Amino acid sequence: MGCTGNRMIFANPVKVKKQLNFARENDVKMMTFDSAEELKKIQNHFPEALAVVRIRTVDTGARYDLSEKFGATMESIPDLLKYAKELGIRVKGVSFHVGSGGVEAKAYIKSLENAKKVFEQNIELGYEPMDLLDIGGGYSFVNPNIENNFVKVGSILRTKIDELFPDQSIRVIAEPGTYLCESAFFLAS
């Protein structure tokens, strides 16, 4: 579809060797991790990858809370950053995903605040500055009148991102799958 691998992120924090090899062959260098084991796999199979630490979200209210399965705790972040450095893996940024369905703006705000802490910890450790923030997805559009729809949450997020990350060199990306597909699948069902 015209999108090259260097513009993609492998956002699943659990990968198998075959997937890592496919990513390498297709120049998909950016990929998330949330554990020391994933860092070791990346080092073994794709050491030139650009790692993005996925942090756990809290109190999301999501119908599908992805932090039940994915995301490093804030307490584990310094050790993960140090281990990545030890392995020679560049940590490019931070990602989170608050889940899907019923997510309120406060969950995104708390996650943004935690992401900012990770950016700061990385600098305090003396590592190369991060330049990527992946704010995940879960944005709803089915009912434009509810408090957690995309338009309302998006405007709150934009303000908070500008406040916490005023440096224009930080690239902010999102994963708007729910936003793009939810209404069509809601209609179909």
Pairing of strands 90-95, 132-134: parallel
132: three-class secondary structure by DSSP:
strand
Instruction: Provide the pLDDT confidence category of residue 25 given band limits of 50, 70 and 90.
Output: very high
Distances (CA, A) of 167 to 21, 30, 37, 133, 170: 34, 21, 32, 12, 6
The answer to whether the CB of 53 falls within 8 A of the CB of 118 is yes
Place of tokens 């699948």: 185
End-to-end CA distance of the chain: 28
pLDDT at 1 over 60: yes
pLDDT for 48 equals 96
The answer to whether the CB of 60 falls within 8 A of the CB of 86 is no
Taken in order of first residue, the domains within the chain and their CATH numbers are: 5-188 (3.20.20.10)
Of 181 and 32, the structure prediction assigns the larger pLDDT to 32
Chain segment 149-176, per-residue pLDDT in tens? 677 777 888 999 999 999 888 999 988 7
The answer to whether the CB of 118 falls within 8 A of the CB of 75 is no
Instruction: Provide the pLDDT confidence category of residue 28 given band limits of 50, 70 and 90.
Output: very high
pLDDT at 128 over 90: yes
Chain segment 71-100, per-residue pLDDT in tens? 899 999 999 999 999 999 999 999 998 866
pLDDT for 61 equals 59
